[in-house]
Structure 1
């Protein structure tokens, strides 16, 4: 059985994903296991899982090359992007495809025992919805 992950994303970027303006999610580290779906946890003040997208792979490159390749669908301004990767030699851009938005966002504390919002991501066996 493939695993899924939950990733924490700030609400302003979640909205960019849900409207299709953001087609890449940037990370400093990437999953080590085979992933099927990526659940989107919208951080404070929402604190809900709002949907998921199918994992379609990622790009690993220098921050400059990633920015040049993905900036059109980054959903983030250049200054914030470079601040985020300021101490990193490599950047990861997760491809966002096949988004499924939940009609009613899920409170993860009701579905998962001892849920703590992940700093980057957390593995999840099976589906949450």
Structure 2
């Protein structure tokens, strides 16, 4: 059993991470099994693909502060956003062969998560993602 999770992220936020303008993933949860190291990213519509992997550091919980480096960091530190947990993104990878919505549903019986889902809930998908080539963005 691992702590790897899959989350859904809108395309505009994926683009901000990929272009190094967003350095933290803001959420309101720490998974019940504990802090994940790997967060797999399902990019929502219109892309609708499991496309990225984020390697994250230990989360920062408001009122603790994050380093102000990019998108929404100041808002997090000031408490102005409704998210109270920031996962610092250490590394970001793009899957060499992202899985689209139809493949995920038909092959793995997977639908994009509302909050998060543990990767090991889908053993075949877990095996595929471990083996797939990942292109390091940073």
What CA RMSD, in Å, does the superposition of the two structures yield over aligned residues?
2.6
Aligned counterpart, 1:72: 69
Aligned counterpart, 1:123: 118
Distance in 2 (alpha carbons) for counterparts of 1:73 and 1:110? 38
Distance in 2 (alpha carbons) for counterparts of 1:111 and 1:75? 37
Aligned counterpart, 2:136: none
Q: What TM-score do you get using the length of structure 2 for normalisation? A: 0.70
Structure 1 moving runs of 4+ over 4 Å? 75-78
* Residue 127 of structure 1, CA deviation: 4.8
* Residue 102 of structure 1, CA deviation: 1.5
Q: What TM-score do you get using the length of structure 1 for normalisation? A: 0.75
Aligned counterpart, 2:94: 101
Aligned counterpart, 1:33: 33
Q: Give unmatched runs, 5+ long, in structure 2.
A: 121-125, 130-138
Asked if the contact 2:54/2:91 (under 8 Å) is kept, the reply is: yes
Cα offsets for 1:38-69 (capped at 9, x unmatched): 1011111111011101232210013xx64xx3
* Residue 4 of structure 1, CA deviation: 1.1
Distance in 1 (alpha carbons) for counterparts of 2:93 and 2:68? 23
- SS in structure 2 of the partner of residue 3 of structure 1: coil
Equivalenced residue count is: 118
Q: 1:59 to 1:105 in 2, by over 3 A?
A: same
Distance in 1 (alpha carbons) for counterparts of 2:105 and 2:89? 25
More strand by share: 1
Distance in 2 (alpha carbons) for counterparts of 1:47 and 1:76? 27
Distance in 1 (alpha carbons) for counterparts of 2:48 and 2:112? 8
Asked if the contact 1:13/1:75 (under 8 Å) is kept, the reply is: no
